[in-house]
Chains A and B, each alone.
Chain A
Amino acid sequence: VQLVQSGAEVKKPGESLKISCKASGYSFTSYWIGWVRQVPGKGLEWMGLIYPGDSNTRYSPSFQGQVTLSADKSISTAYMQWTSLKASDTAIYYCARREVGATWFDPWGQGTLVTVSS
């Protein structure tokens, strides 16, 4: 089981961005994918999750409307996208798998560093 995330990004405020999380080694449509933010030097923040089987999503109130989660079953890849980045979006973003009915996340991707700076 492996989650491999896309590479680091450097963007300007106001730009859009879509980062990816490619799953392998298991049935992609049978597990949830969660997303977690970590501002450099700070703690973990749960952002939301998506069930690729039917694209059902659940967002943290803190991130609802700020990001959009999606998935492409044909290539076993989950995505998180922004339409207008802010400097405060600078962080490492992790994806992680959640078994149906489970309350934990395992394994995690290696993380994608997003830097937003003018």
Chain B
Amino acid sequence: QSALTQPASVSGSPGQSITLSCTGTSSDVGGYGYVSWYQQHPNKAPKLMIFDVTKRPSGVSNRFSGSKSGNTASLTISGLQAEDEADYYCSSYTANSTWVFGGGTKLTVL
């Protein structure tokens, strides 16, 4: 199972909206509505931000939203804040009943 494809880095200014992409195949992202996104600050454990493509866990800001089109899922962060600077990983359930992660995107808030 190959890792999902994410851009290595994305940057934005405070207040802007940015979108992170996550591309897979019909055996994972495209075949299921089971994409999740995790935020990881340096030297910290990952934190769930989005699950089942569009759902937000309790306590996660509504500035974070998810979507999917075909084999590509997206995470949009609106009203970018300094605290959003982190690594973001997408993950998908797969046809093999396993999970696969993306390579991660480093978000820099300018």
Contacts and interface: CB of A to CB of B under 8 A. Distances in A.
Nearest to B32: A103
Contacts of A58: 97-98
Interface stretch (B13-21, B43-51, B70-78): B43-51
Nearest to B103: A43
B5 to A, nearest CB: 11
A44 B104 contact: yes
A44 B98 contact: no
Given A103-B36, A103-B51, A104-B52, A46 B101 contact: yes
A75 interface: no
Main SS at interface, chain A: loop
Contacts of B97: 58
B91 interface: yes
Nearest to A98: B99
B1 A94 contact: no
Given A61-B1, A103-B51, A43 B104 contact: yes
Name the interface size band of chain B.
20 to 34
Interface stretch (A23-31, A82-90, A105-113): A105-113
A43 B101 contact: yes
A67 B5 CA distance: 26
B47 A44 contact: no
B18 to A, nearest CB: 19
Interface of A: 34, 36, 43-46, 58, 60-62, 94, 96, 102-111
Interface of B: 1, 3, 32, 34, 36, 38, 45-48, 51-52, 57, 89, 91, 93, 96-104
18 contacts: A43-B89, A43-B102, A43-B103, A44-B46, A44-B91, A46-B100, A58-B98, A61-B1, A61-B98, A94-B46, A103-B51, A103-B99, A104-B36, A104-B48, A104-B52, A106-B51, A107-B47, A110-B45
Nearest 6 CB-CB pairs, A to B? A103-B34, A104-B51, A106-B48, A104-B36, A46-B99, A108-B45
